[in-house]
Structure 1
Amino acid sequence: MKSQENIQQLIALLSQSSIEDYNAILNNFNFNSIDFKPFESWSQQKYTRNCLYRDVNFEVILLCWEKGQETVIHGHDGEDCWVYLLEGEMEEVFFNVEDQHLRKVGSQKVLPHQLTFMNDNIGFHKLKNSYEGKSISLHVYAKPIEHCVSYNETSQQFIERQLTYDTYKQLIVKD
């Protein structure tokens, strides 16, 4: 049975573990047991960032993507980022900076129940909903990210972006 409480189990596991264990936790967790509907919000204008949990060590954000919506090219302010695709299909495109120019270095298709990892040592990336319908992804950032460097493709310049949530439903972890 799907339950909102099961997300609290994930948060408790992350809270009690070191960052080195996050990959294994996220790869082995039963996300099918979680009812994400109460945390979803949708917009035709842009993907939405819906915070489920945040403390000084990490944040858990549910992103809801309409067809064709994508992030800007961005970094992660020195923090680690895991993305678990719950529904749909995503394309992740990777970039590096060479001689102060941004260069595409590869891409990958992300399918449901796949986990990806990104940090500034790897480079920059952007995510796009490549599915014919809606996609939903769960993002874990260790530590929380309040701003990041992004690349404006029109001006071809790097800019600092302040990150916000579209919804914030802080879950309380039960002991």
Structure 2
Amino acid sequence: MKSFISNTTNERNTLRGINYFHSFQGLSKNEKNSSQSEVKTTSNFSREQILTSNAIFQMATGQVPDLWEVCLNLYNTLKACTAPLSAIQFVPVLEQIYSLDQQQVKRFLKNREHRHVLIDHELLKVVLIHWKPGTVSAIHGHPKGGCIFKILQGKLEELRFTPTHSPKLLSTSSYKTGAMTYIDDRIGYHQVGNPYGISVISLHVYTPGK
């Protein structure tokens, strides 16, 4: 597979919903509880305050799905957090994404860009990715706050590795539409890819964990 992103062997791990083994293994009680917090919404923030200029333009012109409400709720969740930040705190927001408008999907899959940064805040980064068949990321890690991602359409494969200088394979999982999973460097490194025959869309949420 070809790699376009620079920066875990158990094929039976094909799951719907959150992969709790990968999501919560090694996390503290406070971090687990933080994922159960309710989504708080407010209209005090504008698109210009939250979204990147490119995201504003591409949503307005139909080049990417309109995920403004999702981004607003993610940002509100960030602002409401009092505990140490963890990407798990954004689970309730991601759970509210049930499906994408298929007309928007058709236009999105024709977009020449494959990686779209929707929010680029110092404590929150949100990236929408179109994985063409054969695309795979490099093996990489995530800092303390970690990364949680959701499959919005299609199926992705994730390989997890030991977080060492010479990573060793720990597991292989595949995730279908609607699945979510979490990882940080305490759990391991990972590599995400699309070895399947159709395009995949996923949403990734990162925080440095301050």
Gaps of 5+ in 1: 145-175
CA RMSD after TM alignment: 2.9
Q: Counterparts in 2 of 1:80-91, with a 5 A limit?
A: 80-91=146-157
* Alignment counterpart, residue 30 of structure 1, candidates 97, 102, 127: 97
User: Higher strand fraction: Structure 1 or Structure 2?
Assistant: 1
Alpha-carbon distance between aligned partners in 2 of 1:117 and 1:111, rounded to the nearest angstrom: 15
C-alpha change, 1:48 and 1:33, in structure 2 (3 Å) is closer
Deviations, residues 89-144 of structure 1 (Å, cap 9, x unaligned): 1110000056x532101111111111110111111100011331100110000139
Gaps of 5+ in 2: 1-64
- Secondary structure of 2:162's counterpart equals strand
Alpha-carbon distance between aligned partners in 1 of 2:163 and 2:121, rounded to the nearest angstrom: 31
Q: Give the aligned partner of residue 136 of structure 1.
A: 201
* Alignment counterpart, residue 92 of structure 1, candidates 155, 158, 170: 158
Alpha-carbon distance between aligned partners in 2 of 1:79 and 1:50, rounded to the nearest angstrom: 21
Q: Counterparts in 2 of 1:73-152, with a 5 A limit?
A: 73-97=139-163, 100-143=165-208
Q: Give the aligned partner of residue 67 of structure 1.
A: 133
Alpha-carbon distance between aligned partners in 1 of 2:72 and 2:163, rounded to the nearest angstrom: 39
User: Higher helix fraction: Structure 1 or Structure 2?
Assistant: 2
What is the number of equivalent residue pairs in this alignment?
138
Deviations, residues 41-60 of structure 1 (Å, cap 9, x unaligned): 755xxx83210112121011
Alpha-carbon distance between aligned partners in 1 of 2:181 and 2:188, rounded to the nearest angstrom: 14
TM-score by length of 1: 0.66
Alpha-carbon distance between aligned partners in 1 of 2:196 and 2:154, rounded to the nearest angstrom: 6
Alpha-carbon distance between aligned partners in 2 of 1:97 and 1:143, rounded to the nearest angstrom: 17
Contact 1:90–1:127 (CA under 8 A) maintained in structure 2: yes
- Give the residue type in structure 1 aligned to 2:92: A
Shift of 1:7: 3.1
- Secondary structure of 2:73's counterpart equals helix
Bigger relative contact order, structure 1 or 2 (CA pairs below 8 A, ≥6 apart): 2
- Secondary structure of 1:23's counterpart equals helix
Contact 1:88–1:129 (CA under 8 A) maintained in structure 2: no
